[in-house]
Amino acid sequence: MIISIFTGPWLPVPAKKGGAMPKVWQGLAEEFVAQGHQVMILCRSYEGQPQTEFINGVQYIRRGGFSQSTNIYIDLLKDLFYALINFPVLPHAHIIITNDFWLPIFAPLRPKVGKIVVNVNRFPKGQFWLYAKTHLFIAASQVIQKAIATQYPAASSRIRVIHNAIDTSIFSPGSPAKSERKEKVILYVGRIHPEKGIHLLLEAFLMLSQKKSTVKLRIIGPYKQHQGGGGEQYLQTLLAKAEGLNVEFLEPIFDVHKLADAYRDADLFCYPSLAEKGEAFPVAPLEAMATSLVPVVSDLDCFRDLIEEKKTGYYFNHRSSNAAENLADVFYSAILNLQQTQQISVRAVEKASEYSYHKIAKAYLSDFARLIENNKY
């Protein structure tokens, strides 16, 4: 097969400025090539990256691009312009897969670009009727599948759930020696934004610190607005909450090997997202699990495909009036009941192994083949 992957105007591929999806698409594309297919990634131009190149068998074609703003309407206009200048030059292929907002509307005007597959990694906002000519929707989780079907029933027979993938050769367990150290490190990796619940995490850590002094909180991720963060004002709010606590804020880590080391250097992972209709299937908890970190997550449906309470992780009730206290109690219990947490860690690694690039790529390719050969969907 000839497969085109159109990644939109915002983030460069390979990843140079963050974002989970550039890593996912690069890894899947290379796996598609390894399984005998021709793959092109159509992505934005970025400083230091040539307009065209081959990396590990994948052809990269770069054109245009924008930085994201904090205004959704401005970003939709930027994305519209990007789609309009790119769809006339889309290469011929058997499959084109994209998570771009506008491209699925225009791609049908170029039938030789192949079957149109939309990857859905954000909660739908009622726009899917615009994608009437899309051949297949790939939902990142069960909750996203249900939301698409509810908002656009005509698509129900064309939706498949295929989860996001990680490089399990890089994100793998480290030395067990850290279990013996006295100070326990709780790690958050992701955007530093109000919807991610970092302020709640700090409130919970304050409560935990009052019960147990030998704990540390490490927060890694971008706070700048053009990188998807909450901005300088939100960061200053967090720094004020963290004053006097054993908390460190670190810049985002784009090198996957260094990021894997950061996971391996922690004892617990927390992803306290408050985005009821924002998350699809976050990659960071999956990466953490693959490195043997036990995840503590908010009670969002998007995590149900991955995390089972006290078997592959822990949940806390983020909707309650005492959410911070609830989270602090989960932390305390996980640290106190170390043997149980270590058993969960083993199962977390086993679960994460199901999401390797190789296994997830096979699922994609199986659907692509059926789409082309049998017009199943």
- Give dist(CA 265, CA 354) in Å, integer: 23
Report all structural domains of the chain as residue ranges with CATH numbers, in order of start.
2-165+356-373 (3.40.50.2000), 176-354 (3.40.50.2000)
212 in Cβ contact with 52 (< 8 Å): no
Average pLDDT, the chain: 95
pLDDT over 80 at 190, yes or no: yes
Angle between helices 198-211 and 323-336 (to 10 degrees): 50
Contacts of 133 (CB under 8 A, 6+ apart): 104, 108, 116
Q: Count the neighbouring beta carbons within 10 Å of the beta carbon of residue 171.
A: 26
DSSP 97-145: EE--SSHHHHGGGSGGG-EEEEEE-S---S-GGGGTT-SEEEESSHHHH
> CB-based burial of residue 254 (10 Å sphere; 0-12 exposed, 13-18 middle, 19+ buried)?
middle
Confidence at residue 37, expressed as pLDDT on a 0 to 100 scale: 98
pLDDT over 80 at 29, yes or no: yes
Confidence at residue 377, expressed as pLDDT on a 0 to 100 scale: 56
Which H or E element spans position 298?
A: strand 294-298
pLDDT over 60 at 334, yes or no: yes
Torsion of CA 162, 167, 169, 173, to 10 degrees: -90
Q: What pTM did the predictor assign? A: 0.94
Question: Cis ω on the peptide bond leading into residue 14 (within 30° of 0)?
Answer: yes
Q: What is the DSSP letter of 293?
A: P
Strand 268-271, strand 294-298: pairing = parallel
Report residue 68's pLDDT band, with 50, 70 and 90 as the boundaries: confident
The arithmetic mean of pLDDT across residues 59-87, rounded, is 95
| pLDDT tens figures, 106-143 | 999 998 999 999 999 999 999 999 999 999 999 999 99
55 in Cβ contact with 14 (< 8 Å): yes
* Amino acid sitting at position 53: E
Report residue 22's pLDDT band, with 50, 70 and 90 as the boundaries: very high
Which H or E element spans position 62?
A: strand 58-62
Report residue 376's pLDDT band, with 50, 70 and 90 as the boundaries: low
Confidence at residue 227, expressed as pLDDT on a 0 to 100 scale: 84
- Give dist(CA 179, CA 184) in Å, integer: 8
Q: Count the neighbouring beta carbons within 10 Å of the beta carbon of residue 144.
A: 25
Q: Count the neighbouring beta carbons within 10 Å of the beta carbon of residue 83.
A: 21
Distances 182 to 185, 214, 215 between C-alpha atoms, Å: 10, 7, 8
Q: Which two tokens stand for residue 298?
A: 């908010």
Residue 209 phi, psi (nearest 5) = -65, -30
Residue 30: strand, helix, or coil? helix
Confidence at residue 247, expressed as pLDDT on a 0 to 100 scale: 98
Report residue 70's pLDDT band, with 50, 70 and 90 as the boundaries: confident
Residue whose token pair is 């200048």: 85
